[in-house]
Amino acid sequence: MIRITNGIVLAAIHVVPAVATAQSTHGPARPAALDTTPPTIEHAPLRQVTSARRIDILARIGDPSGVAFPRLYYRRVGETHYEVVRMRRHDGQFRATIPGFAVAKPGIEYYLEAFDEAGNGPASHGTPDHPHHVTVGQPLTRSEQPPVKTQPGSAPTAAPWYKHWWIWAIGGAVVAGATTAIAIGASGGGNDGSEVMLQIDAPMPQPSVETTQ
């Protein structure tokens, strides 16, 4: 509306608030839909782990508005207070780690939470009152390791000939006897043309086998 007073032009402007609309090819424009849904969390809960080893918790968290404040809450079984760890993006998922010093018998309890960028949430996987339970076991000692099994039909294998001690004992005796005979012949001892007879007493060989593991 425009009004003239004493030669001065006055103009009044009426402002109408703008409303966000979504264009449609099949009808008039309509208001854009607002995100009122919390994010979704996909996670495969752990059931059993080994003590004193860190635990990596992975989850897929998604929302059209974006994910905000993804968190892992964990505690030892029997405790009332939860520790909080921020989850970070890792290979298309979100990951958080429970440190090894916190992983002890009898177990660990944990749950996940996340909001979206529009403030919806929290979405959760597990809850403070009903967390996921992970049993913690001791690592196997050496005596508890399963025995090594031989393949069916395998038979003991004889050791190579050069690994038998008596082979080297006989060889040493032959060398010593030959050396003595040469020394006698060189010194002129004995009758001319006589033969030098050597008698070697060696222990009887004992059977020796080696087994394969």
Assess contact for 73 and 111: CB atoms under 8 A: yes
With respect to residue 194, please indicate whether it lies within any of the assigned structural domains.
Answer: no
Mean pLDDT for the stretch of residues 44-54: 93
Instruction: State the residue range of the domain holding 76.
Output: 47-139
113 within domain boundaries = yes
pLDDT of 52 = 87
In a domain, 78, yes or no: yes
Could you read off the pLDDT of 94-139 as tens digits, one per residue? 999 999 999 999 999 999 999 999 999 999 999 999 999 999 997 7
Decide if 186 is inside a domain: no
- The answer to whether the CB of 85 falls within 8 A of the CB of 94 is no
Is 189 among the domain residues? no
In the block, residue with structure tokens 């076991």: 137
State the total domains in the chain: 1
Is 86 among the domain residues? Answer: yes
User: What pLDDT does 99 receive?
Assistant: 96
pLDDT in tens, 134-187: 999 977 555 555 565 555 555 556 666 556 666 666 666 655 555 555 555 555
* pLDDT tens digit sequence for 58-78: 999 999 999 999 999 999 999
168 in a structural domain: no
CA separation (Å) from 39 to 34, 72, 96, 112, 118?
Answer: 14, 15, 18, 12, 10
The CATH number that applies at residue 127 is 2.60.40.10
Structure tokens at 164: 């038998």
Which of residues 110 and 206 earns the better pLDDT score?
A: 110
